[in-house]
Amino acid sequence: MPLVSLRDVRKTFPSATRGAPPVTAVDGVDLDIEAGEVFGIVGYSGAGKSTLMRLVNGLEPVTSGSITVGGTELNGLPERELRRLRIGIGMIFQQFNLFTSKTVRGNVSYPLRVAGTPRTEIDRRVDELLGFVGLADKAGSHPEQLSGGQKQRVGIARALATSPRLLLADEATSALDPETTHEVLGLLKRVNEELGVTMIVITHEMDVVQTLADKVAVMDGGRVVEQGDVFDVFSAPQQPSSRRFVSTVVRGVPSADEQAVLRARHPGRLVTLSFHDAGSTQAEVFSALSRAGLGFELVFGGVNDIRGRVFGHLTLALTGPDAVVEQALGTLPDGVTVTRLPNGDVRG
Amino acid sequence: MDELIPLLPKLATATYETLYIVALSLVFGGVGGLVLGLGLYTTRPGSLYPNRPVSAVLNILVNVFRPIPFIIFLAAAQPLARLVVGVGIGNSAIIFTLSLAAAFGISRIVEQNLMTVQPGVIEAARSVGASRLRIIGTVVLPEALGPLILGYTFVLVALTDMSAVAGLVGGGGLGTFAIQYGYRQFEPVVTWAAVIVIIVFVQAVQALGNWLARKAFRR
Ligand SMILES: Nc1ncnc2c1ncn2[C@@H]1O[C@H](COP(=O)(O)OP(=O)(O)OP(=O)(O)O)[C@@H](O)[C@H]1O
Ligand SMILES: [Mg+2]
């Protein structure tokens, strides 16, 4: 049975302006999140990602539909029971949301106090947690004395204090620089792998999905438009709106504007070769083009590694007689998809 | 100067009375204002206990009573003072009325200071399963402690100001002293002596408030 299960979940907010129709933030979402996995949620701003996450720990009640966490139905659960459920669900935030009036120790011990853990046990547990996140020497510091990365590590320690089975992370690295992001992602990976904590991770950063997530859902306008294995969704998105989103984080087939720039700079036929999960084909493609006597130049694209599986989209400018180009493209190995970019002056 | 010397014991008594009136009014008005301010804050839309009707009633109550000039409020509330503390005159009456007036003023200061607390930290507390009452006590109030201390310091100074009209209902204190022995007797030096005591008191209060707030802010 999945740890978290959503069925036809809807959430509407009354509109801010009187008389206007209510805002539908989540619009009929079905999701299953298995214990132990890291589930990514991506999508444009306003897609309803944060709202969806806040439904999972009952910070907002659903308007309709069913959410179960560990077999407990949240819809209609009284506040008391919801609070008890939340003790078993950690949450971390983009802006860290540490209590500025408390020390690091005070922050990390807070959930334990709420849970009614005995005092001596609290001290032991806080030391253990601070050791885990590498801040053993910062117990007495106040949040404003810490760097962004350290703050988020305190946030993670606080979220893990009660040993939750599920951790919710809403843009947890979006306020951090790339190096610190890397550090925090490494920590979150340990949380999943060493502690076995299931995670739901909202992000707009490819890095996060790439290093952490097993599965991913793309949200648009309150709906999940596509979900599946991270590799499948990012290497070959099926829906137009997920394709559009993926193209913002993965360099795929160049857009019309990008094509215009490329054409102005490079003579020859522009083709995009899409590679899918096959290490050797790139070398085969390049030797095939060489054998045909074509000139080629790599002008756009990139290669992505998602947990050891590789995909990429490389746009080449090929120079040589048209017939030879066509013939060479026809003999490319399987596993390479060819997209011929329009040659004409589409945009004048 | 000579005319002041024989009045010094009276000045000491008046100073003590002012401290007594102001301190008690701060306690009663401060607690009342805190409760009322928490009511205003928590019933706002999107807050911990959003409640439109209660919020509207509290706001009307505060908006009606807060702007009344204290000297008029003192006279108008006299029957109420007689009802609650048994007498309509003297220090008890002035403490009662001052506390009541202060509670309305303080409630807005409390509300405004609590609104500076980041919604994110309240969300964080909710996410670990804390109850709303617990959040008020362990997150909202501690997070706003610095500005609250400054707010209450401001109130203490304002109470000193307001307490000066105590003489109107037969109360004592420095205001009464200055009017009775300085102004009425054409002895400006006596009035100035009362002014100096008030200045010293206000400076001391403000310095203490700033120091405490700095500790709360840790800056
Ligand atoms: N408390 C609320 N009251 C009213 N409308 C809300 C509320 N919370 C969210 N919304 C609306 O719901 C929609 C989805 O918002 P949400 O914050 O879930 O998006 P998001 O995908 O997390 O976006 P972002 O990437 O910018 O964080 C938006 O239109 C937003 O204005
Ligand atoms: Mg969001």
What's the gap in Å between B117 CA and the centre of ligand 1?
21
CATH 3.30.70.260 assigned to A256-340:
yes
**Helix, strand or coil, per DSSP, at residue A100:** coil
B48 touches chain A (CB under 8 A): no
Which one has a higher pLDDT value, A324 or A9?
A9
- DSSP letter, residue A63: S
Q: Residue B120, exposed/middle/buried by CB under 10 A (0-12, 13-18, 19+)?
A: middle
To the nearest 10 degrees (0 to 180), the angle between helices B52-65 and B8-42 is 150
- pLDDT recorded at residue A278: 60
Q: What is the CATH number of the domain that holds B40?
A: 1.10.3720.10
φ, ψ dihedrals at A168, nearest 5° = -105, 130
Q: How many domains does chain B have?
A: 1
Range A4-246 has CATH code 3.40.50.300: yes
Chain A residues with at least one Cβ partner in B under 8 Å: 57, 59, 83-87, 89-91, 93, 95, 97-102, 110-111, 113-115, 142, 144, 158-159, 161-162, 168
The residues, any chain, with a CB within 8 Å of residue A323's CB and separated by 6 or more, are none
Residue B1 confidence (pLDDT) = 67
Q: Mean pLDDT across the stretch B18-23? A: 95
Nearest C-alpha of chain B: how many angstroms from A261?
A: 44
ipTM comes to 0.89
The C-alpha atoms of residue A319 and residue B38 are separated, in whole angstroms, by 75
What is the Cα Rg of chain A in Å? 24
pLDDT of residue B81: 93
For residue A285 the two structure tokens come to 């493609």
Residue pair B25/B159 in contact by the 8 Å Cβ criterion: yes
- Ligand 1, atom 30, lies closest to the CA of A46
Confidence of residue A348 (pLDDT cuts 50, 70, 90): very low
Q: What is the pLDDT of residue B219?
A: 54
Predicted TM-score of the model (pTM): 0.89
Q: For residue A12, how far is its CA from the centre of ligand 1 (angstroms)? A: 10
CA distance B61 to chain A (A): 25
A161 neighbourhood in chain B, CB within 8 Å: 128
Cβ atoms < 10 Å from Cβ of A171: 18
Determine what percent of chain A is predicted with pLDDT higher than 70.
98
So what's the pLDDT on residue A346?
42
Other C-beta atoms within 10 Å of A98: how many?
26
Chain A hits for B149, CB-CB cut-off 8 Å, are: none
Q: Is B46 on the interface with A (CB under 8 A)?
A: no
Q: Report the C-alpha gap between B2 and B146 in whole angstroms.
A: 45
Give the pLDDT of residue A149: 96
Q: Residue A187 and residue A201: Cα distance in Å, rounded? A: 14
Nearest to B127 among A91, A115, A144 (CB): A91
Q: What is the SS3 assignment for A75?
A: coil
Sheet of A198-202, strands arranged across: A89-93, A166-170, A198-202, A38-43, A215-220, A223-229
pLDDT at B152: 96
Measured between CB atoms, which of B120, B126, B129 is closest to A115? B129
Least reliable range by pLDDT among A286-295, B39-48, B62-71, B204-213: A286-295
Confidence of residue A288 (pLDDT cuts 50, 70, 90): confident
Using the beta-carbon criterion (under 8 Å), do A114 and B134 form an inter-chain contact? yes
Burial of B196 (0-12, 13-18, 19+ CB in 10 A): exposed
Ligand 1 atom closest to Cα of A53?
18
Question: Does residue B189 fall inside a structural domain?
Answer: no
- Model pLDDT, residue A344: 57
Mean pLDDT of B120-144: 97
Q: Which residues pair with A215 in a beta bridge?
A: A39, A229
Domain housing B162: 20-171
CB contact under 8 A, B128 and A158: yes
In chain B, where do the E strands start and end? none
CB contact under 8 A, A97 and B123: yes
Q: Span B31-43, mean pLDDT?
A: 97
Concatenating the DSSP letter of every residue in B83-112 gives HHHS-SSHHHHHHHHHHHHHHHHHHHHHHH
* A114: pLDDT strictly greater than 50: yes
Q: What is the pLDDT of residues A307-324, one digit of tens each?
A: 788 888 889 998 888 888
Strand boundaries in chain A, DSSP class E: 4-13, 23-33, 38-43, 64-69, 72-73, 89-93, 166-170, 198-202, 215-220, 223-229, 269-276, 295-306, 309-319, 336-340
Average pLDDT over residues A194-219: 93
pLDDT at residue number A279: 60
Highest mean pLDDT (candidates A127-141, A253-267, A295-309): A127-141
Whether residue A347 has pLDDT greater than 70:
no
**Of A125, A149, A122, A150, whose CA–CA distance to A137 is shortest?**
A150
Mean pLDDT of A50-67: 97
Domain assignment present for residue B2? The answer is no
What pLDDT does residue A292 have? 86
- Cβ separation of B121 and A85 shorter than 8 Å? no
Residue B178 belongs to a domain: no
In chain B, what residues touch A109 (CB-CB under 8 Å)? none
- A57: closest chain B residue by CA: B127
Does residue A345 carry a pLDDT above 60? no
| Mean pLDDT score across all residues of chain B | 93
Pocket of ligand 1 (CB under 6 A): A 13, 23, 25, 43, 45-51
Lowest-pLDDT choice from A37-41, A288-292, B94-98: A288-292
Higher pLDDT, A64 or A279: A64
- Mutation to test the A interface, candidates B114, B116, B128, most A Cβ within 10 Å: B128
Distances (CA, A) of A260 to A126, A195, A222, A253, B106: 57, 50, 34, 13, 65
pLDDT in tens, B75-85: 999 999 999 99
Among B120, B123, B142, the residue with its CB nearest the CB of A101 is B142
Q: Which of A233, A274, A230, A228 is nearest to A252 (CA)?
A: A274
The residue extents of the domains of chain A are 4-246, 256-340
The verdict on a CB contact (< 8 Å) between A114 and B120 is no
Out of A89, A90, A101, closest to residue B143 by CB:
A101
Least reliable range by pLDDT among A1-5, A15-19, A149-153, A257-261: A15-19
Nearest CA in chain B to A88: B128
Q: Taking each helix axis from N to C terminus, what angle separates A178-195 and A148-160, rounded to the nearest 10 degrees?
A: 20
Which region among A141-150, A290-299, B187-196 has the lowest average model confidence (pLDDT)?
A: A290-299
pLDDT tens-digit map of A85-102? 999 999 999 999 999 999
C-beta contacts of A76-84 below 8 A and 24+ residues apart: A82/A58, A83/B129, A83/B130, A83/B131, A84/B129
Task: Give mean pLDDT, residues A261-283.
Answer: 81
Give yes or no for residue A66 having a pLDDT over 60.
Answer: yes
For residue range A176-196, list pLDDT tens digits in order: 999 999 999 999 999 999 999
Task: Report whether A71 contacts A12 (CB < 8 A).
Answer: no
The predicted structure's pLDDT at residue A276? 79
Which residues of chain A lie closer than 8 angstroms to B124, CB-CB?
91, 93, 97-99, 158
pLDDT at A224: 96
Q: Which atom of ligand 1 is nearest to the CA of A49?
A: 21
